[in-house]
Structure 1
């Protein structure tokens, strides 16, 4: 017992010194002994002055080097030393003789698999090392490829009979989703820029900017030139904000798509949006360093072009406390786009354009300022109203994480109930309920615009209430709440008429069913956190003609590319340099490899012998167009 306490004391005593590099050049290899047995050998170099404790010190309670695999289907044999340890009297353990490795170490172990041997394994190497009075743990995760040819024989990733460029029929060519996504993100950014204009950090800057330009411009022509330069610089500054995303090596659309459905990323954005909301409510102010803004402002007195640039930079920095949350929303929107960093560039360009337009026009034509409404209390009301919206958006990201990891904490009715509460609180705020309760001796006059806005929000709350009690499918919000299948009730009335997949996340089972029934396959590449997927399921698949046609003519399989459920060990493998570990990994890779797409939804029609029937399509909200595509593919299967 004393020795164990001594080990713990040494560990905590030395931990403050930091995790030093103890071993290097670690290698792992395997040797297949039989159908279910593999020998794994690990070797490594020990840095000068360090010693690593071997497995022969169990008598004093000191664990030596060992390998572990987090899987109950594997049994370990006894470890075998592949190099001889030396015996030393260790000062750290009262000069007790201990077996240690110096310079290098090597040991092996037999792994007995209850099922078939997988193609890859993650092995945790652990142990302890010391140098003088330092005593540190060793932990390292090693990726072992057992047999490069053993890629889960019953899991098919490549559809060898498929020719993506030669479908059996040329009908059903879908719209270019990448262009649609870039345009959508640009418009989203433009709308965000317009919202940013109405915040208290930006709107009062307009007259200040115009007065600055009036002093700088000697005539109308120079005023127009300076105003145009100012607008160009504003747009350029926001475009430059997306530049780092283009410079990141290996940034691909599928990476951004994976990030958008990552549980921790969604939880992070949930926290960020709550943080921004609290700022908009006035609990604290988000500001850029005063030193930075003052320095940029001081540079605005430089020569004409340089001064205009720093004036634009000052605007971007000073307004960040209000535009930051909106830009954060824009960043999130670009994550799920198939166009990668270009979508973010388009969004930032749209934001900068919307923000630059009024400043540019008023700088060019100062007389237009007379038509501009005066800043005042309405700006504070607008900012707090945005705070309620930020809270609602925060719960959307929490819902994404809940759906992907299947926690069950935000089913459809709970999510709608939260949004309903937020809408009612916003309506009460706009209609002055909080001001009246805080000021009982006098009633503050509420403007007509605020009353109208409160009425609109109240109608939205009533609309949400109908969805909460299953009286409406909330078609206008389709894709934002969780799907109707993710409900507190076993039978959700709003989902009547919809269709359920014949098979979920099992391509081989669906293919077998297709061959048995003679029906062609309909592949639905989808995601738990995919907004457009929910729109298709709730607005198009629920149409009687579409639902009936799919049920009677196809074997429908839904493949979730963001499903985090781990595959059985014998179905995990390496595909090139990519690790296929989860259900989502498998079907996301299957989509990109076979159909050269990374977006969801993606609908693919295959014959029972895996021939491509027509061109795959993505999000297609037009019911007639979608039904025509289905009919075209089925007709191709009969040829």
Structure 2
């Protein structure tokens, strides 16, 4: 048993070390993606899987169109057999390069920067499931390192309907979600470290550690104690999994006014609690009953000791845990579980670590007023986050009460107060007088005031790209100097005859929606088709949403590029379809879905059903390039912050349209 806990502790610390420094330690020169030529094929139809590799500079990927006996691992695909499909041909590389390899003493073929492979699959069942692993080898020209590669993909048709028939994923194609999950886990881990330095937790460390170091088997019990903390918080995360697995629930939580108002109130309560106005505590009877179990001794008592710590520290950790859980709802269903595990791993780390190495306790700072300062700083963070939820429903319901400049002003005020607090100019209940400013406090105050200075230009229309997807979009800005200048130039061009406006007036729904960067376009599919036929231009279709953070990131970081903007303005009819807009449609525009048989009565529901039924997708952003008949010209594109890729996407659509 003792050896088990030692092994568990080593593995836990190792995994956490990898998680924190993933970008610095793990060599990953190739990023794979895959797509189907048709995600809703008929039985007997052949479809094509395209595997694409993005290869880092200085690295190359071996192809498979050369003699495999030379030695290097060629790129290959392996399928998990089932009776819903069959592989129709071999994996085919597209436009690989050839060179003589001195190491292998022969000619090899390879890819640099980007590589593409295609393979044909025959569908035997409309409810197909294709599981494939693509593997190979990548080597570095600079260091000589060679890395074996392996990536799994799954393509399948899932159950079509949800409980209320509103929103459901139609297919999955193995798209990478590791990055967002890792980022969320790292954030949760940092929250866990922060929770340690609160008045409810920090003083418990020496008391708990002394208990384990003064009895036999103390180190093994310390491991169990830490594991129990992780298990308890992991259970709390697992409770939320049913809410995150159903996209309809996630969408409702992120777009409906009621949960967003509720989250706003909760975060305000959290902030006031951290400011010392009151404490959020659990019933003492519950805490006492759990604590009594810990007095019985044995291994079970260690678990109840951990449970007691979780309950006793709730007044400090509750708001932090609540923040993580609320942020996880609406994401991948693994987020609540892994977020809680990451938080608890950091939270349990000092209790386990100091029990193993008691001498490290000497380096701990003494308890004092600085612990309350940590709570207050967290209170300011909670206060800033609260307005994000209020902003969500302001966007969705078109209230225009929290436009971007108003949100920026609120955040400037909150950040400035935090900076003054760190400098000791503001004191709250339970704070000790600040006679001098410590170096860490000064550094943190400097960072906060730097953030304030960064925000100030946002009052006058600066894009603030670091906060894309968090703040409202640039179109919701009361005083946008750049927008005003752009409009004046366009008016001057039109009046001088330098520019011909290619729009069909009146534009439907232009009183509700607006495109970013001064772009002009449509918000109704039929009107965009009519414009495409009249002006002989392809359609750039953007499935977007008011509450879509990644949509805003794409608009601020990719659409803003001059090459992208130029192509969108000159070469495309722009069509933006919002999938979460609650505006009611007149009864003669209601549609009955062929997908779930429900009647769609709002703009958002109608657009979302259109995305699912025509394009077999429910993710946003989702970009399609269409011809005058409304049919796709090239493969659709999802979230990708690489500007070059987006330019190529637009150029490919234009070329296909001309043909």
Q: TM-score range by the shorter chain?
A: 0.5 to 0.7
Within 5 Å, give how 1:473-488 maps onto structure 2. Answer: 473-488=463-478
* CA displacement at 1:541 relative to structure 2: 0.8
Cα distance between partner residues in 1 of 2:362 and 2:484: 52
Residues 168/354 of structure 1: CA separation in 2 closer, same or farther (3 Å cut): closer
Structure 2 match to 1:64: none
1:153-203 CA-partner distances (Å, limit 9, x unpaired)? xxxxxxxx9866769998799982544443333233223222222222222
Residues 432-486 of structure 1: per-residue CA shift (max 9 Å, x gap): 11259x99xx97222222122112211211111122133x321222222211111
Q: What is the 5 A alignment of 1:208-219?
A: 208-216=207-215, 218=216
Residue aligning to 1:240: 235
The match for 1:621 among 636, 641, 646 is 641
In structure 2, relative to structure 1, the CA distance for the partners of 1:479 and 1:175 (3 Å cut) is farther
* Conserved? CA contact 1:523–1:605, under 8 Å: yes
SS in 2 for 1:617: coil
Does 1:588 find its partner at 2:608? yes
**Which residue of structure 2 aligns with residue 515 of structure 1?**
533
Partner of 2:545 in structure 1? 527
Partner Cα distance (1:504, 1:305) in 2: 66
- 1:506 is displaced (CA, Å) by 0.9
The equivalent position to 2:456 in structure 1, one of 447, 451, 465, is: 465
The CA deviation at 1:409 is 0.9
SS in 2 for 1:522: strand
In structure 1, the residue matched to 2:447 is 456
The offset of 1:304, in angstroms, is: 3.1
Pick from 376, 386, 403 the counterpart of residue 378 of structure 2: 386
Among candidates 201, 217, 226, match of residue 231 of structure 1: 226
Query: Larger deviation: 488-497 or 191-200?
Result: 488-497
Larger mean Cα displacement after TM superposition, 274-283 or 519-528:
519-528
Distance 1:296 1:600 in 2: 45
SS at structure 2 position matched to 1:482: coil
1:489 CA displacement:
2.8
- SS in structure 1 at match of 2:624: strand
**Cα gap change, 1:556 to 1:195, in 2 (>3 Å):** farther
Change (3 A) 1:427 1:342: same
| Distance change (3 Å), C-alpha of 1:579 and 1:213 | farther
Whether the 8 Å CA contact 1:399–1:410 is kept in 2: the answer is yes
**Alpha carbons of 1:168 and 1:509: their partners in 2 closer, same or farther (altered >3 Å)?**
farther
Which residue of the partner structure matches residue 355 of structure 2? 363
**What CA RMSD, in Å, does the superposition of the two structures yield over aligned residues?**
3.2
Change (3 A) 1:522 1:176: same
Alignment-derived partner of residue 104 in structure 2: none
Structure 1 equivalent of residue 587 of structure 2? 569
Asked if the contact 2:238/2:336 (under 8 Å) is kept, the reply is: no
**Could you tell which deviates more after superposition, 537-546 or 293-302?**
293-302
Q: 1:410 aligns with which of 396, 402, 412?
A: 402
Structure-1 residue corresponding to 2:651: 631
Change (3 A) 1:616 1:352: farther
Following superposition, the deviation at residue 557 of structure 1 comes to 1.3
Matches within 5 A, 1:45-444: 176-216=175-215, 218=216, 222-246=217-241, 252-337=246-331, 339=332, 341-435=333-427, 444=435
Displacement of 1:310: 0.9
User: How far apart are the structure 2 equivalents of 1:607 and 1:392?
Assistant: 44
Q: Which has the larger radius of gyration?
A: 1
- For 2:628, the equivalent position in structure 1 comes to 608
- In 2 relative to 1, CA 638–189 (structure 1 residues): closer, same or farther, beyond 3 Å? farther
Q: Report the TM-score when normalising by structure 2.
A: 0.66
Q: For the residues of structure 2 that align with 1:241 and 1:577, how far apart are their CA atoms?
A: 36
Compared CA separation, residues 330 and 599, structure 1 to 2 (3 A): farther
Q: Corresponding residue for 1:550?
A: 568
- CA deviations 1:190-228 (Å, max 9, x no partner) are 232222222222222222221121134x2xxx3442232
Shifted more, 168-177 versus 623-632: the winner is 168-177
Give, in whole Å, the separation in 1 of the partners of 2:202 and 2:181: 28
Shift of 1:280: 0.5
Tell me, what secondary structure is at the counterpart of 2:542? Answer: strand
Distance (Å, rounded) in 2 between the aligned partners of 1:188 and 1:594 = 37
2:625 is paired with a residue whose SS is strand
Q: Secondary structure at the match of 2:334?
A: helix
Contact 1:505–1:583 (CA<8 Å) still a contact in 2?
no
2:139 paired residue number: none
Secondary structure of the corresponding residue to residue 559 of structure 1: strand
Specify whether residues 494 and 307 from structure 1 end up closer, same or farther in structure 2 by C-alpha distance, changes over 3 A only: farther
- How many pairs align? 470
What do the CA deviations read for 1:350-375 (whole angstroms, capped 9, x no partner)?
22222222222222322222222222
Bigger mean CA offset, 394-403 vs 350-359: 350-359
CA distance in 2: counterparts of 1:516 and 1:264, whole angstroms: 43
1:583-612 Cα distance to aligned partner (Å, 9 max, x none): 111122223344443332222233333333
Deviation at 1:428, TM superposition (A): 0.9
Q: CA deviation at 1:417?
A: 0.8
Moved more, 478-487 or 416-425: 478-487
Aligned residue for 1:242, secondary structure, equals helix
Partner of 2:133: none
Q: State the alpha-carbon separation in 1 of the partners of residues 485 and 288 from structure 2.
A: 57
Gap regions ≥5 residues in structure 1: 1-160
1:323-359 Cα distance to aligned partner (Å, 9 max, x none)? 222222222322332x2x3222222222222222222
Relative contact order: is structure 1 or structure 2 higher (C-alpha 8 Å, sep ≥ 6)?
1
Distance in 2 (alpha carbons) for counterparts of 1:506 and 1:187: 41
Check the 8 A contact 1:163/1:612 in 2, yes or no.
Answer: no
The two structures have a TM-score, normalised by structure 1, of 0.67
Contact 2:542-2:577 at 8 Å conserved across structures: yes
Q: Deviations over 1:268-316 (max 9, x none)?
A: 1111111111101100000011111122222223343211211221122
